[in-house]
Structure 1
């Protein structure tokens, strides 16, 4: 299973790196974002320490982020135009093989479906059929159900805060359309009244989409009266978790001209007149004992629908003691850290605040208030073990400053055998068209791995991205960035390549390959991007990150660390690029 196990014999260092999306992370919720990153890194490391693969570490870290309401992935994601959560996810292993799911509804953890597709892509099918590694929409939901995954009711993945945003945006959209129609009527004369379907609020109701349409109609009731709260779904009972995908309005199928009932995923087929039917099960992951224990503990914590994330204990977050991020200024790059490693008797350098002020290696919430201007009353609530942040609907912007994170979360892992893997997950942009595929489902755009090269350092690179999905698609963001970091190249204005260090390469990617691309320069949409890239060489792992958004939340951890290092990178705006990094030196067992 682990192709690089031999050349890394005697090395026991694993690493995990996560980010919670690029955008604007409000100062009021900064602690919550950093706690989510810290928990995700810790969960991924539990698997890696037990001998689990890098793919397993990525999957578990992203599942942790998907189950946090505050991230735009899994539960609590932005809603599509019809009020349904549709998610994207992709996972890539050390050989560059991938599994992805796009615009998939009713799946609690899309990254697990992507992992299932990755594993399934290596199977042999009859008649030389090629197994899929990317499925979208209802086909992806069907595949998940056929392979034993739970299919959730539509409303179970909608958080109170996401529903509030959808209601507000829907009302804004209606108001804008009315204004546009009035202007058109004033110029051309009155036109026939348009229905909700005509103006694009909902998709045509196909017979197979009846459950989804009924759910959307229940959400839409509040939109006819702006003063009324949203009504609960008008259904008798929510479908059972193991019910088949919603498009099967009646769970029947035809065989030899007769109708037969399709069983639930946990039931055995007993119809004597029909063909034998046995739902396919995903293969079990073979983990070490400690890995199984960690996975079982995590699975037990996620029974049912995860509620909005809260910090109920005083937090002790260790800030990245080697990362330095500044804005349009120099910083200590991972390459420099590696050169200085032997000269350092203890950790030094220190993370820096957005103003360039060095921060201590370990920080508690009180220090955060000083350096990040967090409200002291909120920190006092955490110290008193009170819920933080308050549970929705108090997450509304009228109560506190609102987050503006509408994009992908990602993770990169290196296991103890030297294999690297990465993955991404996202709920996509709010009010998107049904079926829209975002970068988090696409290898080379949302996530990419350059497999191990046959050089003396056995170098490999993994990159995950976050930002404006359509722009990242046209620029092949993850693939292009990985190549720039791998070869330490930067594109010049003439199109030639010049050799630079890796931190200059990743900054040059954003400036030239992304922002300088004609499709981005000539677009009416903003070119926002955040990049997390890891270059693994023989003696260590070099972390690089850069973003032109207001903020970028990250965490990193090695198996030698007691707790993850977390950082909220912020920039000065005005098109500036904030960046930073860290070098993790691999340790080897003494022979």
Structure 2
């Protein structure tokens, strides 16, 4: 019966379930373009499975962003940019069709921040005792404690650190150390923000805080000294499946479809010795949720940056369509997979393998990350100032190959020139907008923030009205218009300009700002004018040393149909759209002509004619 209702609604000319996702604004290298688009494609497919089986727009948003968070290629969840102390601190928010929201900011040790934000939203609708107001935004340690209270797994710090993120952090850390050293030599009294620590009397106020601070510092020192996962070497021995890139070596990730290969137990060391926790910086204190042992099932390290088991290898593949039962069992799966490792025991930890190469384990994910391709040539690109997505599933996307912008003149939003075109420069947030079969709209965003950010920095993905916004349906509006918008870019500038709110309002009323005041215009011009005048032209952005980068994804639902609009002044913007009448998502990598030029496009999904007059 779950399938009957959506089909009946569509036949009567009402709403069609739709999902729109983006993988962040910035510069997506041609080398990794297919991987970015594959992530968007998989996120859209997973969300559509939920929508077609009667799921709500909130369900679709959560599952789509979880797929993106689980992909190392995105700056959200696992593989996110590291803060200045080497910790992954994520932001996420989710907004329903009433404008109610749940959000978390600067939260570490959480695999999927969007799920924590969804839980906050659900709890915010429940009454508390003594007329207390339930929170809809939690940050830092408060968010972690809330996650623990709802039985959400709390991971070790290094569980979300990917090898590529660690490599970037080490490079940036070295650059910062060099700059800070030169700064101290020129101005002896200048203090370094990089080495600044909390006073001891503040750290010793709460014993638990002191233990947590010691754990963070131990993690930072482990990264700096080339130690991975509590005294485990970070760099594995070169193997045949390593991918060589200019200047560094990256190990190609496994696709998650093969059963893990046990690591050989070194000769002369008993298996019990390898199961013993060893921290060169002292014991970090009790770990009630995750294993205290650096080794786990099959002889693997439980805190190996990746985390996986045989469940997904045996039950999922990247090409299979997810069923609703799989989605409903995910929450229980996560808890069971981690709870099995409380004691660090392993039934087959002593098994030996003929291979001595140590493979990384992946965190449990809905769809595994694809393997990196050594070279990608002849990729179709959508270059130019405007991109048009098809209005119907039968219409093909127009793809043209245009000359790439000159590398000698970097685009305006990027602070540095593109020296290595094989390296991604993704600015910030991933996001999604969904409309379910009941006509309700929802949106969400998730981000790991900027690299080397200050500890505790809250990004736009955690702030309603800045990273995501919804204008609900007015009960007196006969057209039942509603708009949702998600943005990605320089968070501080987006916060000043209230990016998502302004985008949604401009699109909802189809207006733009001019020297003569607010005037009517078409929807596409309203989006473009917002970026030109309300964002780039804002005094705080014009007088800032930071680049004014932004990418906008907005959806407007009217009585006639659903209209997607996107625009960005960054080099590229990865996105996908999918509605119920299609058999597969429509994905595109929108690329601008550079130098801060605004590229935009859109798509119209018109409702079928009503059969009332037939």
Show the counterpart of 2:226: 229
Partner of 1:476: 498
Where do 1:511-530 residues align within 5 Å?
511-530=532-551
1-structure distance, mates of 2:222, 2:574: 37
Equivalents in 2 of 1:460, 1:28: separation in Å?
Answer: 38
Q: 1:506 to 1:171 in 2, by over 3 A?
A: same
Alignment partner of 1:456 out of 478, 485, 495: 478
* Structure 1, unpaired ranges of 5+: 186-190, 247-288, 314-318, 357-370, 373-396
Shift of 1:221: 5.2
Q: Matched residue of 2:165: which SS?
A: helix
Provide closer, same or farther for how the CA distance between residues 111 and 498 of structure 1 changes in structure 2, counting only shifts above 3 A: same
Q: What is residue 565 of structure 2 aligned with on the other side?
A: 544
SS in 2 for 1:519: helix
Q: Which residue of 1 aligns with 2:329?
A: 296
Tell me how far apart the structure 2 counterparts of residues 37 and 301 of structure 1 sit (CA, whole Å).
23
- Which one of 77, 100, 103 corresponds to residue 97 of structure 1? 100
Distance 1:324 1:586, change over 3 A: farther
* Structure 1 counterpart of 2:289, from 232, 240, 243: 243
1:30-52 superposed Cα distances (whole Å, 9 cap, x missing partner): 00000000000011111101101
What is the CA deviation profile of residues 399-428 of structure 1, one whole-angstrom value per residue up to 9, with x for unaligned ones? 982111130000000000000000000000
Which residue in 1 is equivalent to 2:446?
425
Indicate the residue corresponding to 2:168 in structure 1: 165
CA separation of 1:219 and 1:324: change in aligned 2, threshold 3 A: closer
Question: Whole-Å Cα distance in 2 between the matches of residues 413 and 525 of structure 1?
Answer: 32
Name the CA distance, whole Å, in 1 between partners of 2:525 and 2:51: 31
Aligned to 1:282: none
Deviation at 1:209, TM superposition (A): 3.9
Q: Which residue of structure 1 aligns with residue 384 of structure 2?
A: 326
* Aligned counterparts of 2:531 and 2:15: Cα–Cα separation in 1: 34
Structure 2 match to 1:152: 155
Q: Report the CA distance shift for 1:501/1:112 in structure 2 as closer, same or farther (over 3 A).
A: same
**Alignment partner of 1:309 out of 369, 374, 385:** 369
* Kept after mapping to 2: 8 A contact 1:554/1:568: yes
SS of the aligned residue for 2:487 comes to strand
**How far off its partner does 1:82 sit?**
1.1
Quote the Cα distance in structure 2 between the aligned partners of 1:490 and 1:570: 24
* Structure 1 length-normalised TM: 0.74
In structure 1, the partner of 2:64 is: 61
Map residues 33-72 of structure 1 onto 2, 5 A cutoff. Answer: 33-72=36-75
Question: Cα gap change, 1:144/1:232 in structure 2, threshold over 3 Å: closer, same or farther?
Answer: closer
Alpha-carbon distance change, 473 to 348 in structure 1, aligned in 2, over 3 angstroms: same
Q: Which residue pairs with 1:260 in the alignment? A: none
Query: C-alpha deviations, 1:427-461, integer Å up to 9, x for none?
Result: 00111111110000000000000001332221100
Contact 2:388 2:398 in 1 (8 A): no
CA contact (8 A) 1:44 1:57 kept: yes
Q: Deviations over 1:154-206 (max 9, x none)?
A: 11111111111111111110000111122225xxxxx69x7x7x644555562
Contact kept in structure 2, 1:324 and 1:580, CA below 8 Å? no
| Deviations 1:537-584 (CA, angstroms, capped at 9, x unpaired) | 123210000000010000010011111110000111112100001011
Cα separation, partners in 2 of 1:493 and 1:350, compared to 1, 3 Å: same
In structure 2, how many angstroms separate the alpha carbons of the residues matched to 1:35 and 1:522?
Answer: 38
2:78 is the alignment partner of 1:75: yes
Distance 1:109 1:332 in 2: 33
Partner of 1:135: 138
Q: Decide whether the 8 Å contact of 1:142 with 1:244 is kept in 2.
A: no
Cα deviation code 1:305-360 (max 9, x no counterpart): 258822489xxxxx99xx98731x6x6589xx6xxx8xxxx84463333639xxxx
Could you tell me how far apart the structure 2 residues matched to 1:325 and 1:535 are? Answer: 25
Question: Structure 1 residue 9: deviation in Å?
Answer: 9.3
Map 1:354-393 → 2, pairs under 5 A: 355=402
Structure 2 counterparts to residues 166-185 of structure 1, below 5 A = 166-185=169-188
Q: Which residue of the other structure, out of 5, 12, 16, is the alignment partner of 1:13?
A: 16
Number of aligned pairs?
480
Distance 1:398 1:544 in 2: 31
* Alpha-carbon RMSD: 3.6
Matched, 1:121 2:124: yes
Counterparts of 1:180 and 1:204, CA distance in 2: 23
Rounded Cα–Cα distance in structure 2 between residues aligned with 1:498 and 1:419: 29
Unaligned runs of 5+ in 2: 1-5, 232-276, 293-321, 339-362, 374-378, 406-417
Matched position secondary structure for 1:63: helix
Deviation at 1:291, TM superposition (A): 3.1
Could you say which residue in structure 2 is the equivalent of 1:210? 211
State the alpha-carbon separation in 2 of the partners of residues 147 and 447 from structure 1. Answer: 25
**Corresponding position of 1:350:** 397
1:333 and 1:40 map into 2 onto residues whose CA distance is 18
What is the match of residue 462 of structure 2? 441
CA distance in 1, matches of 2:419, 2:211: 35
> Which runs of structure 2 are paired with 1:549-588 in the superposition (5 Å)?
549-587=570-608
Question: Distance between the aligned counterparts of 1:481 and 1:210, measured in 2?
Answer: 44
The 1-side partners of 2:401 and 2:567 are apart by 14
CA gap of 1:176–1:443, structure 2 versus 1, over 3 A, is: same
Counterpart position of 1:284: none
CA contact (8 A) 1:324 1:349 kept: no
